[in-house]
Every structure is written in C-alpha cells, then in structure tokens.
Amino acid sequence: MDWKTELLKRLDALADKLGTTSAYLWHVLVKQAIATGVADVITSLILVLGIVFAFKFYHWADEKAKDCHDDSGYIVLRIVLVIGAGVSVIESFCSLYSGILELVNPEYYALHEILQTLSK
C-alpha cells in the first residue's frame, strides 16, 4: 500500500476522532508549526538580549573588582556570567535554527506532528 494513502486514511481517522475534517486539521497543524517557529525566534532574541545584559553586568563587575582589594566575590560572579552567557549562546543558535526551519517549511513540521501522534 502506498504510504501517502495510508497517511491520508490515518489523518482522516484522527480528524474523525477530533470531530473535524482532515483539511481543517491540516490547516491548524500548519498554523501551529508557524506559531512554534515564531516563538522559537522570539526566544532566541530574548536570549540574545540576556547575553548582552550579562556582558554589560560582567563589565560592571570587572570595574567594581578593580576598585576592591578583595575581589573574590566578583570573580565568582564573572565566572557564572561567562558560563551562563555561553549556554545562552548555544541555546540561542539552536532556537533560532529551529525557528527558521519551522517558518520556512511548516508543512514538514505539521506532517512530523501527525506522524508522531500516530506512532504513539
């Protein structure tokens, strides 16, 4: 049996269970993929803003450490800021990559969602 025919039958079965048509269900899943892509891009932008603020705070802590004789607290703060910024950079790139893919090809992610739902 052709996999497309099987997928359409399963999509119709899922739509029947939800009380809607498969065309409407497909439209909803595509819109959800676009919404997820937008959310991922916004998350990436928020992480970039966090990175900028972390580095501004890092430079502030660096200036305060120069004024102090005991700068051990500022050293720990700077280490935490650098580690946090590094993790945020990685997460920002991952989120941006995922968001762009979901915005460019939302049908793929809608199909992926259907296949994941049916395989459970």
Domain count, the chain: 1
State residue 21 phi and psi, 5-degree precision: -90, 160
What is residue 1's predicted lDDT score, i.e. its pLDDT?
A: 53
| DSSP codes joined into one string, 74-92 | HHHHHHHHHHHHHHHHHHH
Distance CA 76, CA 21 (A): 58
pLDDT at 37: 95
CA quadruple 34, 106, 7, 118: dihedral positive or negative? Answer: negative
Write out the residue range of the structural domain in which residue 59 sits: 3-119
Q: What CA–CA distances, in Å, run from 112 to 47, 74, 86, 116?
A: 27, 47, 31, 6
Q: Is 75 exposed, middle or buried (0-12, 13-18, 19+ CB in 10 A)?
A: exposed
- Cα(6)–Cα(2) distance, rounded to whole angstroms? 6
Per-10-residue mean pLDDT, the chain, length 120: 71 74 81 95 95 88 75 78 92 95 92 77
- This prediction's pTM: 0.74
- The answer to whether 78 touches 20, Cβ cutoff 8 Å, is no
